[in-house]
């Protein structure tokens, strides 16, 4: 199932809960009730381009991205005038081919960017996997939902403690 469909199923009440990346939540712009950051799948949105990209240039920039709403919102909040070109795959080649001045994309390690000669100019916002809940389900099945959330929170905390202990013993 596609991540955006998880949002639809939860919002329409077909599913009580769903697990989806915050990138999908940011891009979707529907009203979602996030119960928990599962702290997995961590990465971030970034603005990247070739080394000659002039970040502070005041002319209108062309931004290629798979996430047009997120990119438009980000640059609008910064007061920058941009044009968005929506691309579904291989976004990183857009500045290389001259299609765009820069890209907005998800970066985990940065390896793909480096392999294509791009650098990160701005880290926009962190991304991770989230637990979302249908608002009606939360009211009607509050105890069951809260029990699940409590168990997940406990597991997340245990993982943090284990990781801390492993780092200390290294």
Domains 3-40+128-169 and 43-127 share a fold: yes
Nearest to 128 by CA among 37, 49, 64, 10: 37
pTM: 0.84
Q: What is the DSSP letter of 93?
A: G
pLDDT in tens, 118-155: 999 999 999 999 999 999 999 999 999 999 999 999 99
CA angle in degrees (0–180, nearest 5) for 97-104-120:
85
Which sign, positive or negative, has the C-alpha torsion 142, 147, 151, 153? positive
Q: According to the model, what pLDDT value does residue 159 have? A: 84
pLDDT in tens, 26-82: 999 877 789 999 999 999 999 999 999 988 888 899 999 999 999 999 999 999 999
Q: Assign domain 3-40+128-169 one CATH number from 3.40.190.10, 3.40.50.720, 3.40.1160.10, 3.90.110.10.
A: 3.40.190.10
Q: For residue 24, is pLDDT > 90? A: yes
CB 149 within 8 A of CB 36: yes
CATH topology of domain 43-127: D-Maltodextrin-Binding Protein; domain 2 (3.40.190)
In the chain, domain spans: 3-40+128-169, 43-127
Q: According to the model, what pLDDT value does residue 43 have? A: 97
Q: According to the model, what pLDDT value does residue 165 have? A: 74
CB 96 within 8 A of CB 75: no
pLDDT in tens, 104-125: 999 999 999 999 999 999 999 9
């Amino acid at each position: 199932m596609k991540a955006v469909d998880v949002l639809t199923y939860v919002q329409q009440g077909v599913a009580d809960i769903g697990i989806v990346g915050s990138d999908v939540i940011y891009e979707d712009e529907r009203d979602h009730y996030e119960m928990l950051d599962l702290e997995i799948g961590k990465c971030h949105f970034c603005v990247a381009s070739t080394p000659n990209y002039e970040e502070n240039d005041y002319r209108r920039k062309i931004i290629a991205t798979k996430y047009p709403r997120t990119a438009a919102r980000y640059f609008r909040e910064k007061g920058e005038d941009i044009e968005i070109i929506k691309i579904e795959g291989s976004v990183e080649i857009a500045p290389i081919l001259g299609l765009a001045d820069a890209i907005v994309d998800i970066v985990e390690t940065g390896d793909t960017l480096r392999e294509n000669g791009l650098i990160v100019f701005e880290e926009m916002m962190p991304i991770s996997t989230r637990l979302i809940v249908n608002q009606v389900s939360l009211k009607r099945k509050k105890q069951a939902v809260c029990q699940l959330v409590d168990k997940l929170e406990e597991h997340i905390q245990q993982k943090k403690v284990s990781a801390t202990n492993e780092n200390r013993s290294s």
